[in-house]
Amino acid sequence: MLHHSLVLSVLSLPDFYSYSPATGDGSGTEFSTAHEGRITGVRVYEYPNYGYYSNNYLNGNWTELVGVNAYGNEKEMTLFNNEHFVQISGKYYSGYISELMFVTNEGRSFKVGQPYGISFNFYPTHDGSELRFISGRQNGFALTSIGAHWAVYYNSTS
C-alpha cells in the first residue's frame, strides 16, 4: 500500500500588517502610492463634487501624483513628529470617491469632498500600525476606488 502525505505550510504576513480592501466601483487604471519611508503628509486636489488626486509626503518630498493632472483646489496636511494616519473614512457615489477624511493618532483630521454617498471606514487591525500607502483605481478624472495598507513603522536607524 502506498501512502502519501501532504504538508501545507501557510506563511502569513507579519502580524503588524493589515489591508482595508478597496471600496468603490473600481473602473480605470490601478494606482499605488507605495514608497520607502514614513508618510508625513497628504496633498489632495479637489474638484467640485469629485476629482481627487493625491500624493503623500515622504522624507521631505512629495510622491508622484495619483491621477493625471493637479487641477482644482489644493489642500494639504503635514504631520507633526511622531504623528501618523490611523484612519481613512469617506464616501463613494455614482462611480467616484466623493469624500475623503484622514485622521491621525493625535486626533487631527483632514477632510475633502462632499458628504454624500455610501460610507466607508478604514483603520488598521493591529495596535501601533499606521497608514503605509493607499491603492485603488482612477480613471484620469477622479479616484474610482481606494484601499488602505497599514503596518507598524520600524525606523532602521533606531
pLDDT of 55 reads 64
Of 34-48, 52-66, 69-83, 92-106, minimum mean pLDDT range: 52-66
CATH architecture of 25-151: Aligned Prism (2.100)
Burial of 16 (0-12, 13-18, 19+ CB in 10 A): middle
Q: Where are the domains of the chain?
A: 25-151
Cβ–Cβ < 8 Å for 129, 16: yes
Three cell numbers at 107?
486626533
User: Tens of pLDDT along 88-147?
Assistant: 999 999 988 989 999 999 999 999 888 899 999 999 999 999 999 999 998 887 889 999
Three cell numbers at 121?
471606514
Over range 58-81, report the average pLDDT: 76
pLDDT of 7 reads 37
Q: How far apart are the two ends of the chain, measured CA to CA in Å?
A: 58
Three-state SS at 53: strand
Name the residue with higher pLDDT: 45 or 95.
95
